[in-house]
Amino acid sequence: EINVKKILVSRAIFPDVLERLTRYFEVESNQEDRIFTSAELAAKLADKDGVFIAGDRINEAVLAAAPRLRVAANMAVGYNNFDMEAFNRANVLGTNTPDVLNETTADLGWALMMAAARRMSEGERLLRAGKWDRWSYDMLTGSDVYGSTLGVIGMGRIGQAVARRARGFGMRVVYHNRSRVAAEIERELNAEYLSKPALLAEADHVVLVLPYTAESHHTIGAAELALMKRTATITNIARGGIVDDAALIEALRTRQIGAAGLDVFEGEPKLNPGFLDLPNVVLTPHIGSATEATRRAMANLAADNLIAGLGEGPQAGHPPTPINPDVMARW
């Protein structure tokens, strides 16, 4: 067939989603899931019209090597891996996968917050090491979640899902955001807007749910950690880089704060080895959206965006979740 559009699927994905894409496109896939370098990605995109991406970086240099590229569909809500200014200059559409992962990611935030507050990882390590020999009145005493104050930094879709869960735990909810959310949402969530310093001083459990941008880099560093209660926990389900990991390690080591729950790290999948020696941190490998159902929904939404963005399928020309829809008018 002539004029069949070509796409790259840059990472391994569900075979049936891959199969769906092959109905519309000539597909170069990466089911062995080898991580491409930027140079390899650029070379592979030289003749492609679209790309299905899961977290790999697409910057000016990659775009410059991809003259035919129209659509890059990210299988993620966060798109800090896309240089959107370069996308706009190159008239390339970026798409992401919002909403479908809100509840799943909020669940993991709560799991980490509760595990950190109640010292669950420490308890499990004690058991696995065969060191549990008796009940003791002060063994692994943590801090309460029920009835405490939840501080959400980043009150977007996922932040709101985190806050909504607090009702069942009888918590006071405070939040900080670039701008206040609608009064109706504040009321529904029973959430009170505070400045960042006020939130850090008042919250028993801080959860970070911000997008990673130049402005949100190191939102939490030594100065911010110094404002927190000594019993407080901090949970990051957003992005590495929002927290200054070296400062956090120091705060955990000196018990400036009580504990942390972390799903994301600066420089991941590598992480600062300082975390590994700390008892009071719960660590997970970026699994916030990792349930079968949610990852399927994300993969299908990314595929819908790619198919529709490249003018195919039932929603041709109307990708459901574009980041920079304005570029389409310039095609």
User: CB 61 → ligand 8YV: shortest distance, Å?
Assistant: 20
- Pure H helices in the chain: 15-22, 38-44, 60-64, 84-90, 102-117, 120-128, 157-164, 183-189, 196-202, 222-225, 245-253, 292-309
Nearer to ligand 8YV, 98 or 311 (CB): 98
Among candidate residues 180, 220, 227, the one with its CA nearest the CA of residue 203: 227
User: CB 289 → ligand 8YV: shortest distance, Å?
Assistant: 3
Could you confirm whether 318 is annotated as catalytic?
A: no
Q: Which stretch binds ligand 8YV (CB under 6 A): 40-48, 59-67, 69-77, 240-248?
A: 69-77
Could you confirm whether 118 is annotated as catalytic?
A: no
Contact flag: residue 302 with ligand 8YV (CB under 6 A): no
Nearer to ligand 8YV, 174 or 264 (CB): 264
**Per-residue tokens: 171:** 């918590």
Q: x/- contact string, 84-113, with ligand 8YV (CB under 6 A)?
A: -----------------x------------
Of 217, 218, 286, 318, which residue is the catalytic one?
286
Could you confirm whether 239 is annotated as catalytic?
A: yes
Of 268, 296, 312, 318, which residue is the catalytic one?
268
Query: What is 42-54 written as a DSSP string?
Result: HHHTTT-SEEEES
The 6-9 sheet, strands edge to edge: 26-28, 6-9, 50-53, 71-74, 93-95
Q: Contact at 8 Å (CB) between 105 and 289?
A: yes
Nearer to ligand 8YV, 228 or 237 (CB): 237
Nearer to ligand 8YV, 289 or 300 (CB): 289
In this chain, which of 8, 54, 63, 242 binds ligand 8YV, going by CB under 6 A? 54
For tokens 């002060």, the residue is 138
In this chain, which of 13, 75, 116, 243 binds ligand 8YV, going by CB under 6 A? 75
From residue 57, how far is each of 15, 63, 255 by CA, in Å?
A: 23, 11, 36
User: Contact positions toward ligand 8YV, by CB under 6 A?
Assistant: 54-55, 75-78, 101, 288-289
